[in-house]
């Protein structure tokens, strides 16, 4: 169990260390279970457009989920990191259309749709390191998704916000700041938990 006392930096270090300690086999099994759980979410089964991301490193695997959504006819948008840490978007056309980018990220190789493309999404799958019982999400600290969430709010867009995590990353409390936004649900290999109304 990861303790959630202390500040964001301390919690991030503990969570990243726990992810790094997982075996490849554990990550693969978690990814398969997470894909099953996420596909059962009504927010995804009824979606026409989903903004998602390609997992890298020790993140919970997302590629099987991206492919499953695409096979069901869902339009999947993937982020493209801009120089100022904001996100542009491109359409996911399969793993053969992903290219390596800065910071070890994988991005779509097609046309850029603009930072506001995310406002058309019915659901946004957010990367993160933890979420607490209030739905407060701890990201990696770069601020990219804080900008996305602020953009959605300014546009009046109300997509379902779902964070994908490992089971042990649902913690007692995530330190929050005024710009932080709660998510609506977390999907883990062990199941789904919803927050708020």
Residue 87 near residue 116, CB atoms below 8 Å = no
Distance in angstroms (rounded) separating the CA atoms of residues 153 and 159: 10
DSSP three-state, residue 7: coil
Domains and CATH numbers, the chain: 8-194 (3.40.50.10420)
Angle (nearest 5°) at CA 32 between 30 and 37: 90
pTM over 0.85, yes/no: yes
Distance in angstroms (rounded) separating the CA atoms of residues 112 and 90: 5
Q: How confident is the model at residue 3 (pLDDT cuts 50, 70, 90)?
A: low
Nearest of 124, 121, 127 to residue 105 by alpha carbon? 127
Distance in angstroms (rounded) separating the CA atoms of residues 152 and 54: 21
* pLDDT tens, residue by residue, 71-90: 999 999 999 999 999 999 99
């Amino acid at each position: 169990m990861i303790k959630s006392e202390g500040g964001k930096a301390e919690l991030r270090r503990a969570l990243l260390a726990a992810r790094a300690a997982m075996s490849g086999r554990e990550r693969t099994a978690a990814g398969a279970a997470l894909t099953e759980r996420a596909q059962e979410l009504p927010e995804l089964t009824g979606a026409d457009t989903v903004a998602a991301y390609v997992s890298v490193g020790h993140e919970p695997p997302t590629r099987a989920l991206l492919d499953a959504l695409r096979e069901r006819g869902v339009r999947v948008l993937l982020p493209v990191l801009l120089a100022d840490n904001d996100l542009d978007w491109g359409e996911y056309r399969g793993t053969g259309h992903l290219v390596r980018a800065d910071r070890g990220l994988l991005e779509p190789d097609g046309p850029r749709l603009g930072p506001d493309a995310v406002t058309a999404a019915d659901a946004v799958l957010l990367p993160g390191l933890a979420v607490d019982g209030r739905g407060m999400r701890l990201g990696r600290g770069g601020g990219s998704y804080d900008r996305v969430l602020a953009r959605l709010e300014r546009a009046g867009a109300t997509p379902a916000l779902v964070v994908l995590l490992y089971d042990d990353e649902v913690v007692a409390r995530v330190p929050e700041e005024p710009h932080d936004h709660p998510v609506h649900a977390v999907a883990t290999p062990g199941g789904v938990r919803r927050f708020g109304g």
